[in-house]
Chains A and B, each alone.
Chain A
Amino acid sequence: MTLTSQPFMVNMGPQHPSTHGVLRLRLVLDGETIVEAEPILGYLHSSKEKLFETHTYLQCVPVTDRMDYLASMTSNLAVSLAIEKLAGIEVPERASYIRVIMSEFQRLASHCFAQGTLINDMGAWHTPLIYFIKEREQILDMFEMVCGARLTYNYIRPGGVSQDLPPEFFGAALRFLEEFPKRLREYRDLLWDNEIIRVRATNVGVLPRELAVSSGVSGPTLRGSGVQWDLRKQDPYCLYERFEFGVPVGERGDVWDRFAVRFQEMWESLRILEQALEGLPAGRWKTDVPIVIRPPGGEVYAQVESPRGMLGFYIVSDGGASPWRMHVRAPSFINLTPLREMLIGHKVADAVVIIGSTDIVMGEVDR
């Protein structure tokens, strides 16, 4: 007797514990195998690009906090760099070092969360997740010391940073840099050769190099596919050219490569942090800018290497107090472009892991 079956359509999301936010996937399944996948977005769309047009430039900065809410520092940095470029605002050296320190702590915190949730998605029920979140908590405590907030910082602003680093920050940061590498090594020993992670991640969700480049993918997702491209090296901003660090690159472009690249990036971030804290110059932490910045008419595009990829801001100014147009080049949104090709042929359980490995944040996807 032959069993007949037919493909059926299943909605994954928008409410789902493993879609990393309100991502909806319309999957067509043949048994457990995905034969068609369509991402449906917009569930977190809150017209931020429209909001930018009725806000002053300084008011735009906290709006960017809420796009990539797991990497608010780099979002603030990207928009600040763009506004500074547009308005010709210079940033003191100390402010740039502080920005680098905050960006790299942010990268660590974001990667901790991404790795933790990815391994959670693979079925390691919460233990590694809680370990990583415990580390991330220490970083969030430091951010709270610095700007008062744990998630949406509005700390990096056009001209520099909103306030200088408080004295208690340095003790906490140096203690963190002492302790965290030891624990990261522990987690590496725990996870790196774990058979389940290896089996669930190797050759799963392969993103070939040509598809990655054509799809405009960036960040660890692009580097996992073997493309050596990191804005901190290729187009350094914020004095990154002064720091020595490596850029890890994968080979196959599978989930394992993206996981490994993020892991390695955490080590490199620690290197940058040590150098930046050691070399932190004295001086002002910001240039005075008017509350209502009126840049000259014109346009600018500036981008940073956020934990998720190249985050860019395209600003068109008409000389007024608000941008005429502010478009966000959102890496999470664009990194979803090849998702369908990455999913087809895999099982539903792999879909969860593949989405986790792309490390998207829906606030940035939908804006």
Chain B
Amino acid sequence: MTVALSGEDLGEAIRRAFPSAVDAVAPDAVFVAPQTVRDVCLWLRDEQGFDYLLSVTAVDYLDYFDVVYHLLSLERNQSTIIKTRLQGRTSLRVPSVTPVWKTADFQERETWDLMGIQFEGHPNLKRIMMWEGFPGHPLRKDFLEFDHRTFAMQAGAGQGSQA
């Protein structure tokens, strides 16, 4: 049975190693300060045995974004969750954890592409789902109106042969 490491236990452990990193503690997750994400994750991998990153993704809460990391320790069969909160909707930056787990490569690219969160230090932060040059970040809550006209009609607005 995979045992979930509670936010409280994880928060205590992180506080001992990184006294100022913990922003908040939830029942199942720990919020760390954005700039400390990579250091905390490196420590979690090397000192706490969380060698497997299940998933990294983001959630749009309108006033802020949460970047959520689901971690797994294969050896101890234990899971836990790290989150970080980025206030506002512009200039959202968080250190990339690709140096810690290679799996973050594609997943952070997807989060950048669809949510607009920049992962500093990512080796190849390009769009992965949408085509290059796509405007905006489609999974955001304010991405609602998408101009469905063909690109030709968008570009040549006003020059069409019919209304």
Contact = CB atoms under 8 A, between A and B. Distances in A.
A44 to B, nearest CB: 10
Given A213-B74, A215-B103, A337-B106, A329 B54 contact: yes
Interface residues of B, number: 30
Interface stretch (A58-66, A109-117, A228-236, A344-352): A228-236
B24 to A, nearest CB: 15
B103 A41 contact: no
Interface stretch (A45-53, A75-83, A143-151, A177-185): A45-53
B15 interface: no
Contacts of A312: 54-55, 70
B8 interface: no
B77 interface: yes
Contacts of A49: 114, 139
Nearest to A47: B138
Contacts of B57: 314, 327
Contacts of A310: 54
Interface string B68-99: 10100010010001000000000000000000
Which of B1, B52, B77, B127 has the largest count of A CB atoms less than 10 A from its CB?
B52
Nearest to A336: B106
Interface string A8-46: 000000000000000000000000000000000110010
A40 to B, nearest CB: 8
Contacts of A294: none
A303 B54 CA distance: 10
A281 interface: no
A333 interface: yes
Nearest to B128: A41
Nearest to A303: B54
Interface in B99-144: 101-103, 105-107, 110, 114, 127-131, 138-139
8 contacts: A47-B138, A215-B105, A235-B77, A324-B59, A325-B60, A327-B57, A333-B110, A337-B106
Given A41-B106, A41-B129, A337-B105, 11 more contacts: A213-B51, A214-B101, A215-B102, A216-B54, A227-B74, A303-B54, A312-B55, A312-B70, A325-B60, A334-B107, A366-B129
Interface of B: 1-2, 51-55, 57, 59-60, 68, 70, 74, 77, 81, 101-103, 105-107, 110, 114, 127-131, 138-139
